[in-house]
Chain A
Amino acid sequence: SQTIHQWPATLVQPVGSPLSLECTVEGTSNPNLYWYRQAAGRGLQLLFYSVGIGQISSEVPQNLSASRPQDRQFILSSKKLLLSDSGFYLCAWAAGGPETQYFGPGTRLLVL
């Protein structure tokens, strides 16, 4: 069966510090991978998605970036965090065919 992991689970960072969130998927190959941000009490905002290694599509201009160095690894990064980057970050995967997305447990980021 497929499993998706995210870490860390919780992160508190000062404004201006760098960020690296990691997501890995097990039990599948060549998945589509996604990063979402969910502000408190709000919906899901798609940040990036990837259909293959090194292929990243950005949905929202921001100070965040994403990379996919391996087939089942997706990384969300920032060089300098802003207060507005606080939120709940969710990684998801999909098989790319007529299938839905499956979400990881999320990382709660608080920028102070």
Chain B
Amino acid sequence: QQQVKQSPQSLIVQKGGISIINCAYENTAFDYFPWYQQFPGKGPALLIAIRPDVSEKKEGRFTISFNKSAKQFSLHIMDSQPGDSATYFCAASWDFNKFYFGSGTKLNVKP
């Protein structure tokens, strides 16, 4: 059973556009929701994270929107750039010993 469902699997966005990646979860015990960015051949790197006590967190061009009642959270990349082309993973954790990852979204930002 997949604990975190991520969509879309792939995404093509024009430079300057907004990239939106969505994740949904079932376990209401989850209390930490990070997003990771992975470039080919590299390990994932933490991008931004949120806890369920806030509905939005913004860091530069990256924003997490969190809907606790719907058990959904999303990543918005504003003014998308070709350098943002990577695979993005959402994740969720509730005991900080185990993290459950989404299946990933491959983002391609066209110049």
Number of A-B contacts (CB under 8 A): 57
Query: What class of interface size applies to chain B in its complex with A?
Result: 20 to 34
A106-B42 in contact (CB<8A): yes
A100-B32 in contact (CB<8A): yes
B46-A102 in contact (CB<8A): yes
Q: Which of A41, A51, A98, A108 contacts B97 (CB 8 A)?
A: A51
Q: How far is the CA of A81 from the CA of B49 in the complex (A)?
A: 36
Judge whether B89 is part of the interface by a CB distance below 8 angstroms.
yes
Cβ–Cβ < 8 Å partners of A101 in chain B: 34, 46, 91, 99
Residue-wise, chain A 41-84 has the 8 Å CB interface mask toward B (1 for contact) of: 11110100101000000000000000000000000000000000
Q: How far is the CA of A78 from the CA of B49 in the complex (A)?
A: 34
| A residues adjacent to B (C-beta < 8 A) | 32, 34, 41-44, 46, 49, 51, 90, 92, 94, 96-106, 108
| B residues adjacent to A (C-beta < 8 A) | 6, 32, 34, 36, 41-46, 49, 51, 89, 91, 93, 96-104, 106
